[in-house]
Structure 1
Amino acid sequence: MLSQLGVKLALGLLRLFALLPYGFVARLGDGLGWLLYQIPSGRKRVVHINLKLCFPEWSDERREDVAQKHFRHAIRSYLERSFQWFASAEKLEKLVQVDSEIDLDDPDMPPTLLLGFHFVGIEAGSIFINHALHRQCGALYQPMSNPELEAVAKAARGRFGSDMASRADSARIVLRWLRERKPVMLGADMDYGMRNSTFVPFFGVPTCTLTAVGRFAKVGHAQVVPIIGEVLPHYKGYRLRVFKPWDNYPTGDDDVDARRMNAFLEEQIPKMPEQYYWVHKRFKTRPPGQPGFY
């Protein structure tokens, strides 16, 4: 955990980086990621375990290539918080392309859950969707261990008109937002433990998966619109991809609805496997009686 001095130094560097050319900061993060990948670490081990579980058919060479590229992307994403948190709206507009299958300016948009996925561009996509929608949104965030860092992150993520709420206090607030026709941004593809979760396959591995998305959609009579923040090649910025709402969702069956989310990811991840957040211990919680992977 960062000390208070470390947090202040990190935030100061991010504010400084926001003043520099994006390409320079992106390349700096890429190089730092390459350097850190050369050092044995627990997170590097997690990446390899996850890739081997999800893509057992890959050769060792293929797995090594994707693991290194992902590590570079992951470290780079932290430096790029500088632009995502502190750059002006005008600068972000130049960095983010929006590719939407729905009308983001629709004044009659029904209650909507914007389902974000943990690709390395999720921060850029989650922040910019509020700007692209031109309306007040709601968003959930995961509390941080450092109060100062959490306050800065919360302000940055909500700076384009988004109300922010802690994931721990989410249910009542999300339903109120949906009744008010505020689009609600949330992410559900991480391992948060067994509470409000079920085990369904993810690349063939029984995976602890949140059931909250289907439940919110059912109670709030909301459509579910997947969004993905993609990092563009050649240090050109990001693409925010907004998909069509899922048909026949929710079904009312928690397992079926959770499986739908994982199946969507199984379609999208192979298109850019180096960008999914493999440093996360996605398979940490195991079914009773099964040994851990990490």
Structure 2
Amino acid sequence: MLTRLGTRCAIGLLKLFALLPYGFVARLGDGLGWLLYQIPSRRRRIVHTNLKLCFPEWSEAKREEIASKHFRHAIRGYLERSIQWFGSAEKLEKLVQLDSEVDLRDPDMPPTLLLGFHFVGIEAGSIFINIALDRQCGSLYQPMSNPLLEEVAKAARGRFGCDMASRADSARIVLRWLRERKPVMLGADMDYGERNSTFVPFFGVQTCTLTAVSRLAAVGRAQILPFIGEVLPDYKGYRLKVFKPWAEYPSGDDNADARRMNAFLEEQILNYPEQYYWVHRRFKTRPPGEPGVY
């Protein structure tokens, strides 16, 4: 864990990078990611484990190629936090292409859950949605082990009109936001343990998957708008893709809704597999009786 002094130095460096051209920062992160991938590490092993579980039909060479590209994307993403957290709205508007199947500024938008997925561009996409909505919204975050970094991240993610709430305290707050017609952003494709979760397939692997999304949608009578932040090729920035609302969701069957969410995510991952967040231990929680995979 970073010391307080180390954290302040890292934040200062990000603020400095925010003043530099995006292309320079992205290329620097890309190169650093390539370099770090050459060093055996726990995170590199996690990436390979995830890819082998999800894509057993791929050759070792293909998994190696995707793993290397992903590591470069992941490290690059940390450096690009500089622009995402500290860059101006004008700078972000030049970097993010909005591709939305709905009018995000519709004054009559019903209660809405904006469902984000953990591709490497999720930070840019989530922050830019604050701008695109042009209204107060809400967002859930996962508490960090570093309090100072968490404080800075919350301020950065909420600076364009977004109220932040910890995932641990979220249910009543989310329902209040929905009653106030504030769109609410949340992610549900991480392993948060068995509480409020079920085991359903993800690329054929029984995976601990949150059921909270369908429950919140049911109680809050909210529509689900999935979104993805994609990193564009050739250092051209990002694309924020907002999909049309899911029809007949929630269905009343938590397992079926969780399977539908994972199936949607699988479809999107196949478009750019190197950009999904494979460094996360997605299969950390196993069904009863199954051994750990990491």
TM-score normalised over the length of structure 2: 1.00
CA separation in 1, counterparts of 2:126 and 2:261? 18
Counterpart of 1:90? 90
TM-score normalised over the length of structure 1: 1.00
Question: 1:193 is matched by which residue type in structure 2?
Answer: G
In the TM superposition, what are the counterparts of 1:236-251 in structure 2 within 5 Å? 236-251=236-251
Counterpart of 2:191? 191
CA separation in 1, counterparts of 2:228 and 2:45? 26
Any idea what SS the aligned residue of 1:99 has? strand
Any idea what SS the aligned residue of 1:62 has? helix
Any idea what SS the aligned residue of 1:170 has? helix
Counterpart of 1:203? 203
Structure 1 residue 123 and structure 2 residue 110: aligned? Answer: no
Counterpart of 2:62? 62
Counterpart of 1:113? 113
Question: 1:158 is matched by which residue type in structure 2?
Answer: G
CA separation in 2, counterparts of 1:140 and 1:224? 15
Question: 1:9 is matched by which residue type in structure 2?
Answer: C
In the TM superposition, what are the counterparts of 1:34-183 in structure 2 within 5 Å? 34-183=34-183
Question: 1:70 is matched by which residue type in structure 2?
Answer: H
CA separation in 1, counterparts of 2:60 and 2:149? 38
Counterpart of 2:29? 29
CA separation in 2, counterparts of 1:272 and 1:283? 20
CA separation in 2, counterparts of 1:190 and 1:259? 14
Counterpart of 1:225? 225
Any idea what SS the aligned residue of 1:115 has? strand
CA separation in 1, counterparts of 2:141 and 2:59? 37
Spell out, residue by residue over 1:120-139, the C-alpha distance to the aligned partner (whole angstroms, 9 max, x if none): 00000011101101010000
CA separation in 2, counterparts of 1:218 and 1:182? 16
Structure 1 residue 11 and structure 2 residue 4: aligned? Answer: no
Any idea what SS the aligned residue of 2:270 has? helix
**% identical aligned pairs:** 83
Q: Which runs of 4+ in 1 moved over 3 A?
A: none
Q: CA deviation at 1:266?
A: 0.8
Q: CA deviation at 1:145?
A: 1.1
Q: Runs of 5+ in structure 2 lacking a partner?
A: none
Q: CA deviation at 1:5?
A: 1.2
Any idea what SS the aligned residue of 1:8 has? helix
CA separation in 2, counterparts of 1:181 and 1:129? 16
Question: 2:16 is matched by which residue type in structure 1?
Answer: L
CA separation in 1, counterparts of 2:281 and 2:262? 16
CA separation in 2, counterparts of 1:231 and 1:6? 29
Any idea what SS the aligned residue of 1:80 has? helix
Spell out, residue by residue over 1:49-91, the C-alpha distance to the aligned partner (whole angstroms, 9 max, x if none): 1001101110111000000000000000000000000000000
Spell out, residue by residue over 1:89-110, the C-alpha distance to the aligned partner (whole angstroms, 9 max, x if none): 0000000000000011111000
Spell out, residue by residue over 1:260-289, the C-alpha distance to the aligned partner (whole angstroms, 9 max, x if none): 110001110010000000000000100000
Question: 1:277 is matched by which residue type in structure 2?
Answer: Y
CA separation in 1, counterparts of 2:47 and 2:144? 22
Any idea what SS the aligned residue of 1:103 has? coil
Q: CA deviation at 1:252?
A: 1.2
Any idea what SS the aligned residue of 1:288 has? coil
Q: CA deviation at 1:148?
A: 1.1
Question: 1:36 is matched by which residue type in structure 2?
Answer: L
CA separation in 2, counterparts of 1:272 and 1:148? 33
Q: Alignment RMSD, CA only?
A: 0.4
Q: CA deviation at 1:229?
A: 0.3
CA separation in 1, counterparts of 2:160 and 2:143? 20
CA separation in 1, counterparts of 2:258 and 2:276? 19
